[in-house]
Structure 1
Amino acid sequence: ANLLNLKLYKEDHLSGQITVSLSSDSTCSTNLSNSTSGFETLTLQPIPQKRIPPIAEASKYRFPDWMQGRWQRSRVEMQQFIYRDEQNQFRTIRFRCIMRQNDIVNDRFVVHSTTQWFVKDFLFVSHPLYSYLLLPILFFFFKKKKLI
């Protein structure tokens, strides 16, 4: 089989379920057919997130209009900035805007962030973190062309 044409993992975007197929040896191509047929297959199920703290849930602040929409590997929807790194363990980072300070030279946001990633046997790590993000840091995520 041509290794370049194999889809060795598949994600169901509605359920979040990921199916992965593994090879039987170090060639990474023996006994592989697709994401559900190989020497060994794994099905990863996301574990529901814990509720966010009341202060974050009750917040009415949102990110600026110019940030709203789909970007490469990320999207901004009202109060949420969601970054998905598909090249690094399917990691998803969610920032929820708790407070926006725009009375200074650069806008500043207080956010609640939640990270999650899948590791062997569906390990789920959720780490809430209150932190200040300066607008220039967020620009890093918006260097790529906005998707329509």
Structure 2
Amino acid sequence: MRTPLAGEVTAGRADLAIGPRPSRWDRHAGVLGREEIVVAMARTDPLAAEAEGVTFALIAGEPVVHYHPDNGLGGWLDDVAAQRDVRLTAATRTRQATTAAHLAAAGLGVALVPTTAVHASFPRGRLKPAGRTEFVRGDVCDRPRLASSS
């Protein structure tokens, strides 16, 4: 999946983008850091009882609070699920990870969210470890540069 940010870089309207690595990206990219991903859910969700965390195999049959295609986490989530032969069922889509966590806590489904999206204000629900994602910097160096006039 190519994200809108990647499209801006490819079209030459941006010099770099920061976000999850697009699944189809043949240009330079470097890892800026890694972020823990957790599964947010309602306290009453049967997955909340999983002692070892939640796997994609367990999520396969669950409704998922997914991300809008403009959010790079949506493509990342689909790619990781596909690598594990899991097809996710979106209950709804949102542009914001914080909103996804709150919708999951309200019982709409489960949501995979970066820990930075879950603040102390997370009102209810459970969080379970799920894995990590990388946030990368895509750097485009093949655009023609304007010659400096001296």
The TM-score range, normalised by the shorter chain, is under 0.3
More helix by share: 2
TM-score (norm 1): 0.27
Q: Which one has a bigger Cα radius of gyration?
A: 1
> TM-score, length-normalised on structure 2?
0.26
